[in-house]
Amino acid sequence: MTETCDLVVRGGQCLTPSGLVDADVAVRDGRIVDIGAVMPGRGATELEVSGLTVLPGLIDTQVHFREPGSEHKEDLQTGTAAAVAGGIATVFEMPNTRPGTTTAAALEDKLHRAEGRAWADHAFFVGATADNVENLGELERLPGCCGVKVFMGSSTGDLLLDDADDLARVFANGERRIAIHAEDEATLRERRRLVEGGASVTQHPVWRNDESAMLATHRAVETAERVNRRIHVLHVTTAPEIVFLGRHKRLVTVEVTPQHLTLHAPDCYEAMGTRAQMNPPIRSADHKAGLWRGIVDGTVDVIGSDHAPHTLEEKHGTYPNTPSGMPGVQTTVPIMLDHVHHGRLSLMRMVDLLAASPARIYGIPTKGRLAVGYDADLTIVDRNRKQTISDAAMLTKSGWTPFDGQEITGWPMLTVVRGNVVMREGELLGQPLGRPVLF
């Protein structure tokens, strides 16, 4: 090819669908137009990345950016700034805001709020309720919607859907894959007596026990198979769920979080207190090992951060009245690169979990691969860089991370969104230019 390009990324080791290759990447009009030895002078801008690894732009399919309604914790601008600072080029934002994203007007409001403020490309889930079930087939097809989200167990916000008949009606309306928060609400309500009136946060996985997760996951899968609807089970936390879900892959895909792959009880609660509180909970080392078996055997399809920030003032209250959730969108990539460094998974597997598989599951035709014709979204990393994660470096409005003080190996150095360098060595560049994702 001889055409002039907008950008040439030179000298890196590129992770293509066929593996790592030493190659340049040529970009024109926001798309990759060549991968190989690109002739000098073809690019209006040349980006030298010798010694670094060029990955397809990574995707975080589960973030909570709290806007509208709780902007003191986070908003679309600060949340997406944290995303690109951490090497994430695309985010899917959850519907449990205030008000919830349950109507076409609420979805349009979020898209409008993101315009000119979002650093990353983005899409928004619509929350399922008993009131909007008949409209879900239309809502899931609206521009900027990545799908429908169901909360089977209570968490932040008020989008609980715990009635079996309502769940079946939701599954029967629409065609796209439904994202599921699977905890059994009846079990959670009955067991709350164990912590009511005050308890140690070490009791969080005792209250929200593994049975509550298994019951909801079983019900979700049984309903999905009865009506032949594809589902995506979010933030799976137990070893038995991994075994069960591995037997039901025809309609079911599976997500785990970096937190559940990295932390375990009781150590995390003893070290961090309520900073470690999230739903579903961080569980024992045996459950963590079960999640890793799911990574290795292919049961797990996606890594999502479940970025769910609260202020430290809120988190420092008295359990169980403290909010569940922790920031994660800025630390997912370094944490997973560290796991790669320690041999727990391959770089190719990590990128499948954070790019190719999310694009396949949700139907994004132009993202998730480093290949000609795809969006020029790039996550460029130094796999050998040792760095200590710190609260001070977090761009999230909440200003903290559960991984504060942890030294890791592997770090995101640059983030490119549709051919635009938006982050370099932790600093944001230019202006927010994120756009809605096309499905």
The whole-chain average pLDDT of the chain stands at 96
Pairing of strands 24-28, 31-36: antiparallel
- Under the banding of pLDDT at 50, 70 and 90, the label for residue 155 is low
In 3D space, the residue among 136, 126, 132 whose CA is nearest the CA of residue 106 turns out to be 126
Per-residue pLDDT of 188-227, as tens digits, reads: 999 999 999 899 999 999 999 999 999 999 999 999 999 9
Buried residues in 152-171 as b, exposed as e (16+ CB within 10 A): bbbbbbebbbbeeebbbbbb
What radius of gyration, in Å, describes the C-alpha atoms of the chain? Answer: 21
Question: What does the pLDDT average to over 113-120?
Answer: 98
Per-residue pLDDT of 260-309, as tens digits, reads: 999 999 999 999 999 999 999 999 999 999 999 999 999 999 999 999 99
Q: Is the pLDDT of residue 156 over 60?
A: no
Asked whether the domain spanning 58-362 has the same topology as the one spanning 5-54+371-385+396-428, the reply is no
Q: Yes or no: say if 288 and 267 are a contact pair by the CB < 8 Å rule.
A: no
d(CA 136, CA 68): 21
Q: Yes or no: say if 92 and 119 are a contact pair by the CB < 8 Å rule.
A: no
What is the pTM for the complete model shown?
0.97
pLDDT at 160: 75
Question: What does the pLDDT average to over 110-139?
Answer: 96
Check if 338 is active-site.
no
pLDDT at 38: 82
- Under the banding of pLDDT at 50, 70 and 90, the label for residue 163 is confident
Question: What is the dotted CATH code of the domain comprising 58-362?
Answer: 3.20.20.140
d(CA 393, CA 228): 45
pLDDT at 44: 80
Q: Is the pLDDT of residue 161 over 70?
A: yes
* Other CB atoms within 10 A of residue 144 CB: 17
Per-residue pLDDT of 1-11, as tens digits, reads: 447 899 999 99
Question: What does the pLDDT average to over 48-68?
Answer: 98
pLDDT at 1: 47
* Fold assignment, 5-54+371-385+396-428: Urease, subunit C; domain 1 (2.30.40)
Catalytic pick from 60, 162, 210, 306?
306
Sequence-distant contacts of 110-114: CB under 8 A, at least 24 apart: 110/67, 110/68, 110/76, 110/144, 111/143, 111/144, 111/436, 113/67, 113/68, 113/76, 114/76, 114/80, 114/434, 114/436
Distance of CA 345 to the CA centre of its chain: 18
pLDDT at 234: 98
Q: Yes or no: say if 352 and 296 are a contact pair by the CB < 8 Å rule.
A: no
Pairing of strands 407-417, 24-28: unpaired
d(CA 253, CA 352): 13
Angle between helices 239-246 and 285-297 (to 10 degrees): 20
Per-residue pLDDT of 353-393, as tens digits, reads: 999 999 999 999 999 999 999 999 999 999 999 999 999 99
- Under the banding of pLDDT at 50, 70 and 90, the label for residue 242 is very high
Largest CA distance in the chain: 71
Question: What does the pLDDT average to over 433-439?
Answer: 98
Phi/psi region, residue 265 (left: phi>0; alpha: psi -120 to 50; beta: rest), is beta
Least confident piece of the model among 47-61, 159-173, 307-321: 159-173
Task: Break the chain into its structural domains and give their ranges.
Answer: 5-54+371-385+396-428, 58-362
- Under the banding of pLDDT at 50, 70 and 90, the label for residue 159 is confident
Buried residues in 85-106 as b, exposed as e (16+ CB within 10 A): bbbbbbbbbbbbbeebbbbeeb
Q: Is the pLDDT of residue 133 over 50?
A: yes
Per-residue pLDDT of 406-433, as tens digits, reads: 999 999 999 999 999 999 999 999 999 9
Q: Is the pLDDT of residue 40 over 90?
A: no
